[in-house]
Amino acid sequence: MSAPDTTVETATDEAVRRREDSAVLRIGEDDGERLEAEAGTSDTSMVMNMGPQHPSTHGVLRLMLEMEGETVMRSKPVIGYLHTGMEKTAETLTYLQGPTNVTRMDYASPLFSELAFSMATEALLGLELPPRATWIRMLMCELNRISSHLLFQATNGMDIGAVSMMIYGWREREEALRLLETITGLRMNHNYIRPGGVAADLPDGWRDEVLTLIDTLPARLNEFDTLLTGQPIYRERLQGVGVINTAECLALGVTGPILRSTGYVWDLRRDMPYLAYDQVEFDVVVGTYGDCFDRYAIRLNEIRESIRILAQILDQMPSGDYRVQDKKVTPPPRARIDESMEALIHHFKIFTEGFKVPAGEVYAAVESPRGELGCYMVSDGSAVPYRMHIRGPSFVNLQTLPHLMQGGMVADAVAIISSVDPIMGEVDR
């Protein structure tokens, strides 16, 4: 492991260049439709709207493209079509109800939002987690990373035209989801990681099930390699498409696989470890060219690294409690509720009124499959957050789209959107 290379151009040069290049189309949302209607009046360029209801825009992303023939000159992503007001709703939910809200942001990797929220709350409370809770969280997050990257493989293949890839990606994802369902009770939106630990201990037989999964997956990933990695058409569609460099990424605040695809080694799990990532061994996967193919390969190989981490978690999983034993934040055990009136009242109060969190403000961040997912939280000493803000990696990463697309063909735009892997729930929140 080497120290990250930070010798890059300064951001100012980048800003100047960006303005000169002006990859971003700066027109209003309504102008987009008007200009599209007027298309044909100008013989050099035309403005075209793509989305928000479009099969390859991953939900409800809308793009305004200024094109010359088939070539994309400038573009602008238009978002907000899935704005859910989650940050406002968070101000009415207690800290125990909070994870139900944030888990619906990044619905492909819900456990990471829960983790960031819980870590922020615990930092305000000053809680120290029992080791088993920490390791269960790691186990779940890596499982979730696998299912999220498998989803990417499926949709990326489909967007590019390798439709059978969707069938393969989904086949594997179902295996991971079934395991998540066994442990958390739900396939998605788990609300499993909560302030103070996790919702329940691992069920009997979890070890065998995880073992079966990590025994099965590598062979299936090799199938992906056969299907995609070496395939000339696939390489042709992705290599050299949507190129970005490290300086641009850093200036734009980009994190995750897009930043790593430029060859820059930066992964919060390694560089600013949280949970127990400093006690497991894994490699940070980086690319070389910063193109769509690198981003595909990084995500595929990150699944392999997650499997490596999972094997180590199986060996090192400590015994003990799965949540912190602090009367203030932990409800009493189920058995006690039947015999003790006080326990029943205690249980009721925790779930209706919640617990008070000391005033303060904090920022906690985790490495989600899409990059740095941060949670900024302000408490005023009551039982609900005064302000809760999630820094969604997809939201920031989306700013690369105009740069990646400039000068490319419309067909490449589809591949590029897919390789940025935005989850619109997290973009719009």
Partner 1 sequence: MKLPLLGDPEAILDRGLEGVDHNFVTGKLEELVKWSRARSCWPATFGLACCAIEMMATGGAHYDLARYGMEVFRASPRQADLMIVAGRVSQKMAPILRRIYDQMMEPKWVISMGVCASSGGMFNNYAIVQGVDQIVPVDVYAPGCPPGPETLMHAILTLHEKITSGELTQRREETGAGANLSVSQQDGQTSTGVVIRT
Partner 2 sequence: MSDSVLHVPREELIETVSGLRDDGYVSVLDVTAVDYLEHPGRTDLPPETTPERFELVVTLISHAAPGRVRLRVQVPADDPTVPTLFDLYPGTEALEREVADMFGIVFEGHPDPTRILMPPDWEGHPLRKDFAVGRIPVQFKATR
Residues that bind partner 2 (CB under 8 A): 3-4, 6, 8, 10-12, 14-15, 18-19, 24, 26, 28-30, 79-80, 83, 85, 87-89, 91-92, 123, 250-255, 266, 271-272, 274, 359-361, 363, 365, 372, 374, 376, 378, 380-381, 386-387, 389, 391, 395-396, 398-399, 428-429
β-strand 371-379 against 387-391: which pairing, if any? antiparallel
Q: How far apart are CA 110 and CA 123, in angstroms?
A: 20
Residues in the chain: 429
Task: Verify binding: residue 112, partner 1, rule CB under 8 A.
Answer: no
Identify the residue whose tokens are 């067909």.
411
Q: How far apart are CA 146 and CA 310, in angstroms?
A: 10
- The rounded radius of gyration (Å) of the Cα atoms in the chain is 23
Measured from the CB atom, the residue of 239 and 399 that comes closer to partner 2 is: 399
Q: CB 172 → partner 2: shortest distance, Å?
A: 32
Beta carbons within 8 Å of 200's beta carbon, 6+ residues apart: 184, 192, 322
Cβ contact 410:75 at 8 Å = no
Stretch that binds partner 1, among 178-186, 233-241, 257-265, 267-275 (CB under 8 A): 178-186
Binding residue (CB under 8 A) for partner 1 from 132, 145, 173, 190: 173
DSSP 243: -
For residues 114, 116, 118, 119, the Cα torsion angle rounded to the nearest 10 degrees is 160
Q: CB 175 → partner 1: shortest distance, Å?
A: 5
Residue 363 binding result from partner 2, partner 1, none, given CB thresholds of 5 to 8 Å by partner type: partner 2
Task: Verify binding: residue 123, partner 1, rule CB under 8 A.
Answer: no
Question: Residue 116 corresponds to which amino acid?
Answer: A
Residues facing 65 on adjacent strands: 48, 75
Q: CB 41 → partner 2: shortest distance, Å?
A: 24
Measured from the CB atom, the residue of 50 and 324 that comes closer to partner 1 is: 50
Measured from the CB atom, the residue of 89 and 399 that comes closer to partner 1 is: 89
Q: How far apart are CA 54 and CA 313, in angstroms?
A: 41
Q: CB 419 → partner 2: shortest distance, Å?
A: 19
Q: CB 258 → partner 2: shortest distance, Å?
A: 12
Residue 274 binding result from partner 2, partner 1, none, given CB thresholds of 5 to 8 Å by partner type: partner 2
Task: Verify binding: residue 80, partner 1, rule CB under 8 A.
Answer: yes
Stretch that binds partner 1, among 49-57, 68-76, 193-201, 233-241 (CB under 8 A): 49-57
Short-list 215, 98, 192, 97, CA closest to 144: 192
Q: CB 110 → partner 2: shortest distance, Å?
A: 20
Element holding 67 (H helix, E strand): strand 62-68
396's tokens: 């920031």
Identify the residue whose tokens are 């390791």.
135
Q: CB 251 → partner 2: shortest distance, Å?
A: 5
Q: CB 341 → partner 1: shortest distance, Å?
A: 31
Cβ contact 203:182 at 8 Å = yes
Please tell me whether the peptide bond between 52 and the residue prior to it is cis, using omega within 30 degrees of 0: yes
Binding residue (CB under 8 A) for partner 1 from 4, 28, 161, 185: 185
Secondary structure (3-state) at 223: helix
Stretch that binds partner 1, among 64-72, 172-180, 222-230, 380-388 (CB under 8 A): 172-180
Task: Verify binding: residue 74, partner 1, rule CB under 8 A.
Answer: no
Beta carbons within 8 Å of 76's beta carbon, 6+ residues apart: 24, 25, 26, 27, 32, 63, 64, 402
Stretch that binds partner 1, among 64-72, 104-112, 127-135, 309-317 (CB under 8 A): 104-112
399's tokens: 């700013």
Element holding 80 (H helix, E strand): none
Task: Verify binding: residue 424, partner 1, rule CB under 8 A.
Answer: yes
Residues that bind partner 1 (CB under 8 A): 52-55, 59-60, 80-86, 88-89, 100-101, 104, 107-108, 151, 154-155, 166-168, 170-171, 173-175, 177-179, 181-182, 185-189, 205, 209, 212-213, 215-216, 424-425, 428
